[in-house]
Amino acid sequence: MRFGIFWIACLAMGQDFSDIQLEKASGGHRFTEGPLWSKYIDGLLFCEVPSNKILAFQPGKGLGKYLDETGGASGLSYDAEGHLYIAEARSRRIIRLSASDEKKVEVVAERFEGKRFNGPNDIVVRKDGQVYFSDPAFGAQSETREMDFYGVYHMTPKGELSLVAKSKGRPNGVTLSPNGRILYVANSDERKVYAYDLDGRGKASNERVFLSGLDGVPDGLRTDEKGNVYVAANHVYIFSPQGKALHTIHMGEKPSNMTFGDADHMTLYITAKASVYRARMKVKGAVSEY
């Protein structure tokens, strides 16, 4: 009887990651990053970082170009009004594309206290317009940086910029809990994931280590509607909101990031070195609202 109650409880929690079938959606790329499902094109946007491009994969239609000459785009996020925010590592700035005209580009952040960013890497926008992004320094950015620290930043809907954290190692992927009250930040050098509480104005507090000792260098992060946290490192690792290991999606190529997509938001898309993969899930991706 106890076993029966336990099994029913597990099903109710929705922690079923069995029978995940991974398939290649697109291949032959030059390092893919920053996947984001777009309801506006009914397809997946992702960055091909070395080529300075954002590409679009539409199921049933195939691959196409979305944007050329992006300045090293590596992170993407929409706001509630449909503006596309882009973290450009090579141009060392955050830009925003108009919801009505993708060629209309607005630079929304490129300096903090008078100094240029190191190289913004990943970005997430809460439904109320609060923006969070990481600013490490990888590759050439480390040789020309003006900052003497690596940062995680918060930008309000009015464009006011503040530091969430000065990181000891390089911050990388960022994501939000389903209710938008927790910010998660991967730290590549420390092989940790940090968590921060967020209030109604978007202010962060209570820095803490959510995960440590990860297998591989953590990159992108995502959450599902249950609050589980997905970490791209040597493989894709899934943890409960309490930090308990739940499942590993084994990858043939090292993953960089992931996002949920398709009309029902139940397909996990994973960017990797030269490919984009997808897998049908039994849980929906999170929509971070506050």
**For the segment 211-256, what is each residue's pLDDT rounded down to a tens digit?**
999 999 999 999 999 999 999 999 999 999 999 999 999 999 999 9
Give the type of residue at 44. Answer: L
* Residue 68 per-residue DSSP state: S
Whole-number Cα distances in Å, 72 to 48, 152, 252, 255? 8, 19, 25, 18
Given a contact cutoff of 8 angstroms between Cβ atoms, the answer to whether 241 and 278 are in contact is no
pTM: 0.93
Q: What is the pLDDT of residue 167?
A: 87
**Summary count for the chain: helices (H), strands (E):** 1, 26
Q: What is the pLDDT of residue 5?
A: 39
Which residue stretches of the chain have pLDDT < 70?
A: 1-14, 99-103, 288-290
Q: What is the pLDDT of residue 12?
A: 40
Partners of 172 in the β-ladder: none
Please report how many Cα atoms fall inside a 13 Å half-sphere around the Cα of residue 233, on the Cβ side.
23
Please name the residue that has the structure tokens 């070395």.
50
Fold of 23-280: Neuraminidase (2.120.10)
- Give me 68's structure tokens: 């050329």
Residue 45: which residues within 8 A CB-CB, separation 6 or more?
Answer: 34, 35, 36, 37, 38, 54, 55, 56, 66, 76, 84
What is the spatial distance between Cα 174 and Cα 182, in angstroms, rounded to a whole number?
Answer: 11
Given a contact cutoff of 8 angstroms between Cβ atoms, the answer to whether 191 and 218 are in contact is yes
What is the spatial distance between Cα 146 and Cα 280, in angstroms, rounded to a whole number?
Answer: 43
